[in-house]
A and B are shown apart, each in its own frame.
Chain A
């Protein structure tokens, strides 16, 4: 997956021992966000927003919290984290999600907020 965008913080970038909290307490809620689980993917979901009814079934059934929503509307897929399991395509009541082979080309057809959640860090 060399064409994957690189996450700005690599997995090896762990804290120095001086920065570790006593008892190994985690102090950064939700910090696994920096882990790019999107590179597990072999297929990528493509949403046909013309037909999407914004019912949010895909959002509630995604194991990787990879649907971006705003104001109760589906706005994109977070390709930095989506593992390509295909559950969303199965559960969408209007069948407007299609799983296609993961490639740079196919990813481009997908409005993705993966990039914006990366720069949010």
Chain B
């Protein structure tokens, strides 16, 4: 089936307007695309984060779907409970059995750091839900602090750049691969600028027989220091530089998705974001060479995974 935007535009928007996310924010773009991609009516659990504080300002809500928010760390646990309760109520004949899709939206702080063990537990228990990490590489709504998703070398308010330190000293956590190691049926990495790739992945995730995880890169114009109109361009540069490869892992099998990836040097992506201006001002900076070497190494490792034959069933 070909995917047409005109067809999608006939569906009602399930995430509306009037929310308080910054001008140029990528998160609502991806949320609208994801909700429009779903075939079944969604039931959403929301972790604390930019999206939550901006879309659920009491007494209002931007959402037009059933939504539950409990805390920062436990959105995966919350949706586990919702899914288990629904199954129990159906079993007891107290609710109609109809296809629903249980979805979590959480940021990188809630996924990589604070909700890590809760997510791991829900994946291991095998609840049927789609977990979406909206990754803007930092704690942005509290004022741009580093998370374990923040890129090496990036300036944040807790990893300042100066004579003593060149921004964040550590390499980021590879959460997508960590989730894939749980052996769940569907895992993917997507990015805001590529709606077709994202929607295709969401549809596969919805059909998966068990937990599914999609890590979506959602550039943050305030935190990454670029002009709001550049959001899609920056997202694309991150992908093309190999800093955010688009791939999926279907029942353990790695596969690259989307065309023309990793054709640019990382400096192109770094130059588009002023959070790296302290290192990009000198093209010979050792940090840039270090990032390039590590990206190349990870890229080769990913290609090796994609080329690895999987044992026949």
Contact = CB atoms under 8 A, between A and B. Distances in A.
A binds B: yes
Contact of B17 (A20, A33, A60): A33
Contact of B60 (A31, A40, A55): A31
B233 interface: yes
Contact of A32 (B13, B22, B57): B57
Contacts of B19: 32, 35, 37, 64
A72 B32 contact: no
Interface string B281-299: 0000000000000000000
Interface stretch (B3-11, B147-155, B263-271): B3-11
A30 B61 contact: yes
Given A37-B17, A65-B17, A56 B6 contact: yes
A1 interface: no
By secondary structure, the B interface counts as loop
A31 B67 CA distance: 14
A78 B268 CA distance: 35
Contact of A63 (B26, B60, B193): B26
A5 to B, nearest CB: 15
Given A60-B33, A78-B17, A20 B24 contact: no
Contact of A56 (B5, B18, B25, B26): B5
Interface of A: 14-15, 20, 24, 26, 28-37, 40-41, 54-57, 59-66, 69, 71-72, 78, 81, 83-87, 89-91, 99
